[in-house]
Amino acid sequence: MRAVALYGTVGSLLLTGLTAVTSAPAAHGTEALLSPTAPTAPSAADSPAEARGVVLAAERAAAKGITFGACPAAEGLPAPVECGTFSVPVDYAHPNGKHISLTVSRGHATGDRSARQGALVFNPGGPGGSGMIFPLLAGLPAWKRLAEAYDFIGYAPRGVGRSAPLSCVDPARFERGPSDAPEHPSAAYKRQRIAQAKAYARGCLRKAGPDLRHFTSRNNARDLDVLRAALGERRLNFIGASYGTYFGAVYATLFPGHVRRMVFDSVVNPSPRKIWYRNNLDQSAAFERRWYDWRRWAARHHNVYRLGRTEHEVLAAYHKAADRLRRRPAGGKVGPAQLQALFLKAGYTDTAWARAARALAAYLRGDEGQLVALAGGASGSVAAENGNAVYTAVECNDASWPRDWSRWNRDNDHLARRAPFETWSNAFMNLPCAYWKAPRQRPFEVGTARRALPPVLLLAAERDAATPYAGALELLRRFRGSAALVTERDAGTHGIGGGPNACVNGYFEKYLLTGELPVRNATCAGRPEPQAT
């Protein structure tokens, strides 16, 4: 996906405040490194050298632990949140070689010491997303009981933020607006984007050198096991959202004996034939449906926004704005691509629907201030360029992508006939993978033997565009007898755990506090549509 969205989510994870925290429980000893059921033989997905390297790195991390202290100002995390680092090898086949430090944040469990259940690690997705803000969620009512039971642990995966940051181009030149986003691009425009994709792929290799090949979902899973050990945890408690569900599933496959509780929220389709080229095509098709949902909603509220009484009229209003921005960008910053990115965000969460509608309506009336404020501020962002670099490296390294431009051209032209909103913008973001020079891996085969895992919980919204619902059904099938799925019906917000749906939260909280899953797959009524404001 485009850099404004990726496979990541903040979804319902909106921060509104802090709560008091108490002192930390005593650290576990290094003898807690391995569970009694930890695998002793290398997984078929690991080489023997990599399997040994993970064990060695985890042993060292358990012995050293993490020294937590005040967070650096760059993290923007106030006390009592604490920060620290842990070390992982760049290449697990050579654990005595080059190491990098990954950053970690912690908020202590707030409840009675006797009721505490250890550390709960969170990843928000990406690839390229940072979970460092996770401890702040303890301040939200929906997370209160979980925050009483668990230390909330956030971290920045390899390459992200201050965790040995990866970069492919000068951030000042990345996604610099205003720019165009034609739904049916010309041959000349395509040639321009091919040249940009080639240059971007070269930039990644030039800046990262031989380390580039080691940004993978497999290594993200291995790093997670080292973090588990560094925290002194015998078994892992983990919430993965969006892309976090994919490398979380890789983790569960590689280290089933190290799993205590895992939540997979908004599930990436883990089928090897989907990783990653076909997943992106499926995603583009699904965003067309969410784009339709927004237009239909805006039309029902024509009396508020005056964008049209039918979804076709609302679409015409959007195209009118895009054409006007193509001729004269708003504030010198917002062109058609920035407008499209704003509405792509609305496809991720319906909490963004009203403000996007207000901005479009105001712009068409001659007031561009709201549109510039919402869509004009991402150009030249170090964080955006860093996130996109990690996203690109991981997805390009994880699997073989088509190298023949004619395949990309044929597939995306065909899809854009019925799903024009996001198809080509998505394709151009991923196009560096066609010209990638680092070695590619075979897609990982996620899956476990029947009941080989402790029970795990899957959450999914039926109309989620970023991770279409079929992905949750696929992961449910692959975790044979070990998983249960909670479905939010007729809803499309990406990231539903800890949000406004009390039914979803009931299952989510009960599982993390007790380990209990629904007896069978459960459904929850969708949340009400947003109000027009």
pLDDT in tens, 67-94: 999 999 999 999 999 999 999 999 999 9
> Exactly one of 214, 258, 301, 494 is catalytic; which is it?
494
pLDDT higher than 50, residue 18: no
Q: What is the pLDDT of residues 486-521, one digit of tens each?
A: 999 999 999 999 999 999 999 999 999 999 999 879
Strands 99-107 and 82-89, by their bridges, are antiparallel
> Exactly one of 105, 242, 271, 482 is catalytic; which is it?
242
| Closest alpha carbon to 121 in 106, 111, 110 | 106
Q: Which domains does the chain have, with CATH numbers?
A: 48-165+213-274+445-524 (3.40.50.1820), 166-210+276-442 (no CATH)
Give the count of beta carbons closer than 10 Å to the beta carbon of residue 526: 21
The least confident of 16-30, 323-337, 364-378, 410-424 is: 16-30
Classify the C-alpha dihedral 145-149-150-151 as positive or negative.
positive
192 pLDDT tier (thresholds 50, 70, 90)? very high
- Rounded distance, CA 469 to CA 462, Å? 5
217 pLDDT tier (thresholds 50, 70, 90)? very high
Contact 272, 444 (CB under 8 A): yes
Measure Cα distances from 531 to 143, 244, 296, 304, 528 in Å. 24, 30, 14, 10, 9
pLDDT higher than 80, residue 35: no
The least confident of 3-7, 51-55, 351-355 is: 3-7
Percent of the chain at pLDDT > 70 equals: 91
Average pLDDT over residues 263-267: 98
**Under 8 Å CB-to-CB from 442, ≥6 apart: which residues?**
272, 399, 400
- Rounded distance, CA 307 to CA 51, Å? 58
Query: Tell me, what's the pLDDT at 46?
Result: 79
Burial tier of 121 (Cβ tally within 10 Å: 0-12, 13-18, 19+): buried
Average pLDDT over residues 414-435: 98
Query: Tell me, what's the pLDDT at 176?
Result: 83
pLDDT higher than 70, residue 32: no
21 pLDDT tier (thresholds 50, 70, 90)? very low
pLDDT higher than 70, residue 4: no
Q: What is the pLDDT of residues 176-187, one digit of tens each?
A: 889 999 999 999
Query: Tell me, what's the pLDDT at 378?
Result: 58
Q: Collapse the DSSP code of 12 into the 3-class scheme (helix H, G, I; strand E, B; otherwise coil) and give the result.
A: coil
Query: Tell me, what's the pLDDT at 7?
Result: 54
Supply φ then ψ for residue 511, to 5 degrees.
-65, -50
Give the mean pLDDT of the chain: 91
112 in active site: no
Average pLDDT over residues 477-481: 93
Which H helix or E strand runs over 119? Answer: strand 119-123
47 in active site: no
418 pLDDT tier (thresholds 50, 70, 90)? very high
380 pLDDT tier (thresholds 50, 70, 90)? low
94 in active site: no
> Exactly one of 46, 211, 350, 464 is catalytic; which is it?
464
- Preceding peptide of 182 cis, ω within 30°: no
Measure Cα distances from 149 to 21, 57, 198 in Å. 12, 28, 49
Percent of the chain at pLDDT > 90 equals: 87
* Pairwise pLDDT comparison (13 vs 211), residue with the higher score: 211
